[in-house]
A and B are shown apart, each in its own frame.
Chain A
């Protein structure tokens, strides 16, 4: 059995930032366990730019952004094991992991940070009719083939779903010489960032078809085409609007799911909306000493916010390890009327910090107001020119306001259109 103060599960942007922040705050022994062969997580295949505008104030590629954190890690005594998969986190924070070199590892930790990231929703979850031919893949899988392995996954592409990875891949495939015929989006609005729609679709003349979906795939061995159709307000295909589009590749960018198998197996209950663990203002889950941050907690739009959140978790873990973390009576947060969820889900009343409430809205709003209320009384409000589901939002609650709320109070956050 090895002993570490802090075990960080996942060496992507979340895990690296959490580990560094914990080290900065006096945690002596830290180990980062990463299942891939390198640190960096999904950023390693995101060779486009657009990362770091908020955090570093400059525009970096994914590997550059990750590289800065790797360099910072190298300058510390934080241990890193790559190609190492965590299999289990047992009661009392005993982490079981496996790799080729060490075989089976058991690590006793004082605190654990969960930073496993997220994965893409696969085709099966969509139940698209048709054959099981090749050529149907998630946008992220296609991105790995192109950017990491250096192979073309197809030449004539239809993309279903306008999530950011789908939009990025529309541009990427075009630059590699493929014909991207269209991006179909089930909803009447895109799930991706506005800047990606402009830079990845508009600039290349790739049509974005809203309220449109793929209803069937065709082809025996390799995909030969898809049937698309318009959908009604209930998102059901409208008969008579079907159209055949020939293509050899269908890329799916239809949502991301936090990868919480480990969390679930260790007994953590997940928030039904975020599909991540429920946490307090320092991202401590319902298990003492187990923290969560990054896309395993909630799917973020920008890596800069992942970093910010992970630093909060790293600081929280440091406070926990040193016995300085406030735990006690809580107030609870709730998204209503257009606000889908809030992270964190609970806040310690006697917390030592201001708390940002992160959330996403469920529809597009123009000139709207975010209102935070407790027990019918408005705590604060914030005007927004535009709110859309593709972008994360936040409001900041002052420590002084939190400490005045009664125990178990519910803080509601809503949109006023």
Chain B
């Protein structure tokens, strides 16, 4: 199969690039080494849309962050992904930190960040009632928001596939050969030819670039651990509460999530193994200690889960986006650490413009930039529910009790373009198994539905692809 463009990596960056390119009369493949989209940094980060005051003036990060954050509400609306403009505060605990806050304000203004202000202790307490007494003031960024990064990615890829992009999962690129027509990618699912390659491989973008002789990308894997707390304490924070940033990043934050939980984290630790997403006793302890500084009533008694993610910190501290020096039609989109999620919609546009330099992009006549909203039984009125079940009785069976998710929604998630193939994929698309019991009751039911829909035995179903088997052979 020959494509015009192969996008390698189906994280939020690759997903939104694929969606942007799906508007044009070119053949696009989105290659993903895992069993689903959003399996790397995208599924395990702070889920924040940043104002854009952190990045140094004049950097690509600064430009794309501000632009991406402005685009986010509309992108989310078109893709039917919840976005909440809850605003963020960077809290100062001393006059010295207050100076830092003012510095961030100046930087933000220069970056073009709208709705930015410095507020005093009284105002901070008014807008954030649970904030520590020791906080003396803050930078308030009202354009900041929260979004679910994997939902955004799932929706973007679904939209891209609807427009004709081919999503190829379990497709790890092992080697890249160049010839007169372009590239032949040697992958775990066979050879794939493409005229152009877009390297959106996240933590592995350095390795992918090396396959075409480009060793200029220097990344440091940086691990961050988080706690997710129950919805009953989701309102402890109203804004996303940051502490003053340091050289390792933006520090421990306390934030509501768009689904109503409370998220605290991340730690920041440079590590060797870029696939090390284990949480550690030290990390989990650090999160709590530091989160307590901002919001003294946070407690892990309400923890429902913890997780860790690895971000690709670029040594040069800026996004690396542009044509590769070593190979003509290989475009790097690398080093996209925070504010990568915020920037992603702008990155997609930026990449399209760069690609347009070489490849004449003509719009398709048939195209949609809208992804219809999936059925969300839990958000419906009783009348809507009654109507829905009449049309399809599968919506009348609740599978996940904690989150009120129906069998119909789970089947939809499997049948959707680039749909779920494993238990975690169903969970990310529907929230089945994401509640208080964490899949204790519905886990085996979800396995059964997946097996039915995919036409395989239950023992073939995995948690997240690979060897993540859930059950083995039949009992005696």
Contact = CB atoms under 8 A, between A and B. Distances in A.
Interface of A: 35, 83, 85, 87, 96, 98-104, 106, 119-120, 122-125, 127, 129-135, 137-138, 140-141, 144-146, 148-155, 176-177, 215-218, 220-222, 237, 257, 259, 261
B396 A122 contact: no
A131 B227 CA distance: 14
Contact of B393 (A100, A132, A177): A100
B303 interface: yes
Contacts of B281: 129, 215-216, 237
A125 B303 contact: yes
B466 A152 contact: no
Contacts, number: 149
Contacts of A96: 382
Contacts of B390: 103
A145 B471 contact: yes
Given A98-B385, A151-B472, A153-B470, 13 more contacts: A85-B401, A101-B396, A132-B307, A138-B440, A148-B444, A150-B475, A151-B473, A151-B474, A151-B475, A152-B471, A220-B275, A220-B466, A221-B466
B410 to A, nearest CB: 14
B398 interface: yes
B389 A98 contact: yes
Interface stretch (B315-323, B339-347, B456-464): B456-464
Interface string B294-327: 0000001001111100000000000000000000
14 contacts: A85-B401, A103-B393, A122-B439, A123-B305, A134-B463, A134-B468, A137-B443, A141-B439, A149-B444, A151-B471, A151-B472, A151-B473, A176-B475, A257-B436
A369 to B, nearest CB: 34
Interface of B: 227-228, 275, 277-281, 283-284, 300, 303-307, 382, 385-386, 389-390, 393-394, 396-398, 401-402, 404, 436-441, 443-444, 448, 458-459, 462-464, 466-476
A398 B82 CA distance: 59
Given A100-B394, A141-B443, A153 B471 contact: yes
A241 B105 CA distance: 50
A69 B414 CA distance: 39
A153 B278 contact: no
A196 B463 CA distance: 32
A103 B389 contact: yes
Interface of A is mostly: mixed
B404 A87 contact: yes
A131 B398 contact: no
B333 to A, nearest CB: 26
B303 A124 contact: yes
Closest 8 CB pairs of A and B: A124-B305, A122-B438, A134-B463, A221-B467, A100-B393, A103-B389, A151-B471, A100-B396
A102 B397 CA distance: 11
Contacts of A104: 382, 385-386, 389, 396
A141 B464 CA distance: 18
B279 A129 contact: yes
Contact of B475 (A119, A124, A152): A152
Contacts of A138: 440
A70 B458 CA distance: 30
A87 B400 CA distance: 12
